[in-house]
Amino acid sequence: MPSILLIDDDALFRETLGDALTENGYTVRQAADGAEGTRLLRTMPVDLVLTDIVMPRQEGLETIKALRRIYPKLGIIAMSGGLAQAAPFYLKIAGDFGAQRTLQKPFDLPTLLTAITEVLASEGISPPPASAPTHPDSGSSPTTNDPN
């Protein structure tokens, strides 16, 4: 089962997205900021990091640079919605620093799952088998509405 480190300072967003990824067959570890995520990664390696950009203590751009230095082949997806007008600029820089994919919040779960599958495939890692929709009552996947 592929593993993901989810780094985001918004606890509700992190828990909700973590649950959705787990329901889709991923092992998910969570961290509230880049410093915590980097420490966690040293003791528990993962296949992919999904990181927010705008966070306290250690923000996402600094985290991506550090991870690229320590783990040059690690899959990284950056996401941001914070400072709405600046998010595209931050995401471009994240790509320049080594994130293979970038997503502007809000995004829907299928878009994220596609990005994860593509990044894992570039590392030769297969995604987990397809699972049932995460919200059977609505018949659709949740949208991430967190602007940060």
**pLDDT tens profile 101-148:** 999 999 999 999 999 999 999 999 998 987 544 443 333 344 444 555
Residue 18 has a pLDDT of 98
What average pLDDT does the chain have?
88
Please report which residue ranges of 85-126 form alpha helices under DSSP H: 87-97, 109-122
**95 touches 102 (CB < 8 A):** yes
Determine how many CB atoms are found less than 10 A away from the CB of residue 112. 21
pTM to 2 decimal places:
0.86
Give the per-residue pLDDT at 107: 94
